[in-house]
Chains A and B, each alone.
Chain A
Amino acid sequence: MPSRKPGVNAPEPFRQQLLDTLPRLRRYARSLSFDHANADDLVQTTAERALAHWHQFDQRRDIRVWLLSIAHNAHLDRIRREQRYTLVDPDQLAERREAPAPGDPGLRMDLLAALARLSVAHREVLLLVGVEQLSYAECAEVLGVPAGTVMSRLARARVAMRAALDGGAARPEAAPNLRRVV
């Protein structure tokens, strides 16, 4: 890849805001991909895109929402790219991506193992609303879906999370929901 210096013109306050948000972006990225190298890659891509398009950011708005939506889209791009080069059934692929590698040292048990069992769509809403504490409207903006979708998806995600924590094996409606992500 040729050397690129994205956003050399980005103003200082913007850079500072971006820098301050990187830990949150990383945390979100890790919830999308439990592979830390992949997650780091996603954060880096997000930062590069943000620097390249800094002028599109409206300073009156919350930079977290803007950056998280860039990360979300970058993640979708990657899933599409990976699917293009695979002969595996996309549903299967999705299942496989979500299942944590056995003995993955990055997984602190129980809670995160349960989280990892959920579909990406469910993880996203749990993280964005539950952990990042975005409103439904902000979450909808990040995901590019109507607020009503966030509401129903989150309800199902909570049920799925509980089932995963209770029984371990249950994966209710993970697959049908995935279809709606794109």
Chain B
Amino acid sequence: MTNDKLQPPDDEQLSAWLDAELNEPAQASVQDWLQTHPDDAARVRLWAADRDALRARLAPELDEPLPGAWVDLVTTTAPVRRLGGSWEAMAAQWVLAVGLGAAMGAWWARPGNEPPPTPGTAPLAAATAPATPDTQEPWLQFAALAHTVYVPEKRHPVEVAVEGDPAAQAAQEAHLSRWLTKRLDVPVKMFDLRDQGYRLVGGRLLPESNGPCAQLMYEDSAGQRVTVYLRRKGTDAPASFRYEELNGLGLFYWVEGPAGYALVGQASRERLLALAEAIYRSGKDSIGSVIE
């Protein structure tokens, strides 16, 4: 502070003025001071700029997906009973709707009907853990792992991104579809999930013991992501539509024609179900075949 015969405001007052936390007269007198003291005004402007920059820098953190363990922790009431009842009803509707009655028997025995996993375990650790005896599909572990690895990525979530204006998006979708179809040797379609509130982020090719496989990533307006994992069907793959939970991630999986599908996400089962249904319908259209 240099030129002052009046009482100059100290840092506390300047800072509080910025936050409009002074009382009316004090707020006004600091305002007057700043109008005649450009050095102080410049300092306060810098503080404001720092604050705004920090706010902008940290804003995207709010959009990161929440770990499934937290969602389970907060949403799970006295376990399974209440939740399970309504879910089973819905599952039954789904099974009827798509004519997969045969899946029913298997359904009730799935581990997905058990209480959610203990909160606090790292998703990655669980995804890489050996399959539980109930998990008959080792590739599901891989689908879950790929989800866990790529979904938090901010800058490189996908290998080929679908972005830009509608024409560019259409071109990228077509390219992605052709490329993955060629590499997987099964028809890979870019499912349109916009009616469900999810846009296609893009996709990537992944290696699996079974050969090349693919991951498509979708994102809703809140930045919550789900992935669709596609692979060429193995010899042992069941045709039924199933649900499993692997440490807070929900997985719907099924086989259709030559391809195995898994939808992976942290969204509620109801939400995943709606998405799986849309994918199933759209996949069926593209292949022109029906399960069974």
Contacts and interface: CB of A to CB of B under 8 A. Distances in A.
A115 B62 CA distance: 18
Contacts of A152: 12
Interface residues of B, number: 38
A111 B16 contact: no
B73 A136 contact: no
B11 A23 contact: no
B266 to A, nearest CB: 12
B15 A130 contact: no
B55 A131 contact: yes
Contacts of B10: 155
A154 B15 CA distance: 7
A151 B75 contact: no
Contacts of A43: 70
B21 A159 contact: no
Interface string B10-25: 1110111001010000
B50 A165 contact: yes
A111 B62 CA distance: 18
Nearest to A15: B74
Contact of B54 (A24, A115, A159): A115
A112 interface: yes
Nearest to A11: B77
A112 B63 CA distance: 18
B73 A44 contact: yes
A23 B61 contact: yes
A40 interface: yes
Contacts of B11: 155-156, 158-159
Nearest to A129: B19
A130 B55 contact: yes
A28 B145 CA distance: 28
A19 B77 CA distance: 14
A5 B62 contact: no
Interface in B44-91: 46-47, 50-51, 53-55, 57-58, 61-64, 66-67, 69-71, 73-79
19 contacts: A3-B118, A8-B78, A10-B77, A19-B74, A22-B66, A23-B61, A27-B61, A37-B122, A43-B70, A48-B73, A51-B74, A108-B57, A126-B54, A130-B55, A136-B16, A136-B19, A151-B12, A155-B11, A155-B16
Given A5-B76, A5-B78, A22-B74, 18 more contacts: A3-B118, A5-B79, A10-B77, A19-B74, A19-B75, A22-B66, A27-B61, A44-B73, A51-B74, A111-B50, A127-B58, A129-B19, A130-B51, A151-B16, A155-B11, A158-B11, A159-B11, A162-B50
Interface of A: 3, 5-6, 8, 10, 15, 18-19, 22-24, 26-27, 30-31, 37, 40-41, 43-44, 47-48, 51, 108, 111-112, 115, 126-127, 129-131, 135-136, 151-152, 154-156, 158-159, 161-162, 165
> Which 6 pairs show the lowest CB-CB distances between chains A and B?
A155-B15, A130-B51, A155-B11, A155-B12, A23-B62, A27-B61
Interface of B: 10-12, 14-16, 19, 21, 43, 46-47, 50-51, 53-55, 57-58, 61-64, 66-67, 69-71, 73-79, 118-120, 122
